[in-house]
Structure 1
């Protein structure tokens, strides 16, 4: 599922676009030479009002339809939206776009009627200015809603595109233990790999394919924090493991960027999800053989990438 919503501007931007286009359309309007001055001015003002209404209607409708239908989301995305976004405010703000859309059309009809019945140029000018003021007021009233929707867009931009009905594996462990490297070695993914902690700003994903099957693997940042203390990317990872994952590859790192006791504590926490877990030991190329051997005696762990890939394939066949 895609949450790519186009950038939402402030209310002044939309007014400027609408008014500028109205002036352009009006200047290009061709009026027959037989029309008197009053009629000509009415036609020009009609053109401006119709253009402003058309532009604003289009912009506001596009904002509304650019957001997904939140009533038809999967359990994962429903929970994700409700935990990372103020859902009540989101519904209210989208409702405000619909309200503004209707009000601009209402004022367009109302002031075209007033201008149509005007007997003097002064009356036309007066009604036109009133119309511009009303429209500006409507857009100003939704300024906070526009700002909220833009912030929501930025949050949703970080949502992962996790496919439904496909075998899904979470690569879990603390930051900088080699998860992204592992993902790049056993899938076609090319994640950006940094050498310092907390580098995962989004969930990196990759795929393993056979002739008949496909598995998606997700690089998830681990944390020992309680859910309400997690940042957004950690919450996304938690919910992905809870709702989307069929299997977990837990990554140990004996170079210990994090103490081993904390790594074991995180593994224990992940077991609460009641998903099959395969332990993988990373960075064995920079560890001495005795360290690896001693660890393997105490912990059931895979060190060979081909063996790990084979285990994933076998689990995938059961799905």
Structure 2
């Protein structure tokens, strides 16, 4: 299972759509004579334009049916993609899709308005009416030119979001830089860790996986989001943290009591307190680099470099998640 925005088709521009509709119509008309040729051209141009626009709309998942994690994350990503919109984010995306759907329906209405008139008129009248219909179809498509461009922008931003699975238990790893988060993730997860970037920042997200008792866990490291005080995050990054609130089943906040990481212990604990206040799941304080110092109150102490109590911390995270595998009922 991949994320819901993967595999979306490329969104055509208004110009591409008009060119495609009319070139196909010209070929269709060339195979027939008289009024029948004009009718065929009208039908082909209408179908190509309306079907392609409707396909743009129906290819997108129904936003309201998505997991809240993806709704929040998409809202943040699209908000960055549409900074000039009055109401950027998911609402803007919905509005753009709605406008394109309207245009698809309008093109069908134009065809229905003209098809019987084209069929009844003499050849010159039929040709004139067909040209009128073409001009109106082109106007409708061009009216949603900006909407098509906006959908293309959103698609490009969302197609590369990290593949995180809300239906699988997730342990989020937080803490200031250089406290040992990445080393821990690399140590306890498989070698196929995925590293991707959030589309709206240079921030990366690292997702590792491990299994315990036939349950697949995600270990999510979020450098650039949960590694500094909340007031230092911009609005889009704060919204990404909101997405993580929906995802996390437990949070491990790494602390370096030795201060070797370069950040005062007081600042590290303040970040821990902010995370505890925000996340409504178990938040465990993990004092890493215990070979250098244990001079802090923590839930667990370990040293990744010395391989001391790493498995114990992982087990504590599993216990905090307390996930039960759903098994089919016995017959």
- Give TM class, smaller chain: 0.7 to 0.9
Give, in angstroms, the shift of residue 118 of structure 1.
1.8
Q: Which residue of 2 aligns with 1:289?
A: none
Residue 264 in structure 1 maps to residue 262 in structure 2: no
Contact 1:50 1:108 in 2 (8 A): yes
Flag structure 2 segments of 5+ consecutive residues without an equivalent: 80-87, 325-331
1:215: which partner in 2? 217
Distance 1:172 1:145 in 2: 38
Deviation of 1:248 (Å):
1.0
Check 1:318–1:79 CA distance in 2 against 1; reply closer, same or farther (3 A cut). Answer: closer
Residues 1:224 and 2:217 are matched in the alignment:
no
Contact 1:207 1:214 in 2 (8 A): yes
Q: 1:199 to 1:191 in 2, by over 3 A?
A: farther
How do 1:87-106 residues align onto structure 2 when only pairs under 5 Å count? Answer: 87-106=90-109
Deviates more, 1:104-113 or 1:247-256: 247-256
**Distance in 1 of aligned mates of 2:176 and 2:51:** 46
How far is the alpha carbon of 1:233 from its aligned partner?
4.8
Cα 1:257–1:234 change in 2 (3 A) is farther
What is the match of residue 134 of structure 1? 136
SS at match of 1:295: coil
**Can you list the C-alpha shifts for 1:15-71, whole angstroms capped at 9, x where unaligned?**
1222222233334x2x4xxxxxxxx13222222222222222221121111222122
Alpha-carbon shift at residue 115 of structure 1 (Å): 1.7
The equivalent of 2:302 in structure 1 is 302
Give the aligned partner of residue 282 of structure 2: 276
Aligned position for 1:109: 112
Q: Which stretch of structure 1 is more off in the superposition, 242-251 or 185-194?
A: 185-194
Deviation at 1:181, TM superposition (A): 4.2
How big is the alpha-carbon RMSD for the aligned residues of Structure 1 and Structure 2? 3.0
Matched, 1:250 2:253: yes
Residue in structure 2 matched with residue 288 of structure 1 by the alignment = none
Q: Look up the match of 1:313.
A: 318
What's the TM-score, normalizing by structure 2? 0.76
Match of 2:34 in 1: 41
Q: Which residue of 1 aligns with 2:327?
A: none
User: Whole-Å Cα distance in 2 between the matches of residues 57 and 231 of structure 1?
Assistant: 37
Greater CA radius of gyration, 1 or 2? 1
| More deviation, 141-150/245-254 | 245-254
Q: Distance in 2 between matches of 1:9 and 1:176?
A: 45
Alpha-carbon distance between aligned partners in 2 of 1:239 and 1:61, rounded to the nearest angstrom: 32
Residue aligned with 2:19, SS: helix
Q: Separation in 1 of the partners of 2:123 and 2:111?
A: 20
Whether contact under 8 Å (2:72, 2:239) holds in the other structure is no
Q: Distance in 2 between matches of 1:276 and 1:20?
A: 61
- Shift of the alpha carbon at 1:299? 4.3
Per-residue deviation at 1:97? Answer: 1.4
1:16 aligned residue: 19
Distance 1:200 1:175, change over 3 A: farther
CA distance 1:112–1:271, shift in 2 (3 Å) = same
Q: TM-score, normalised by structure 1?
A: 0.78
Q: Distance in 1 between matches of 2:29 and 2:177?
A: 59
- Structure with greater helix share of residues: 1
Query: What residue is the counterpart of 2:150 in the other structure?
Result: 148
Quote the offset at 1:208 in angstroms.
1.5
Confirm or deny: 8 A CA contact 1:184 1:191 kept in the other structure: no
Native 8 Å contact 1:172 1:179 kept in 2: yes
How many equivalent residue pairs? 294
Aligned pair partner of 2:185 in 183, 186, 200: 183
Distance 2:196 2:105 in 1: 49
Residues 10 and 260 of structure 1: CA distance in aligned 2, closer, same or farther (over 3 Å): farther
Q: Residue 260 of structure 1: CA displacement?
A: 4.4
Q: State the distance in 2 between where 1:231 and 1:184 align.
A: 30
- Determine the C-alpha separation between the residues in 1 that align with 2:177 and 2:202: 7
Alpha-carbon distance change, 49 to 178 in structure 1, aligned in 2, over 3 angstroms:
farther
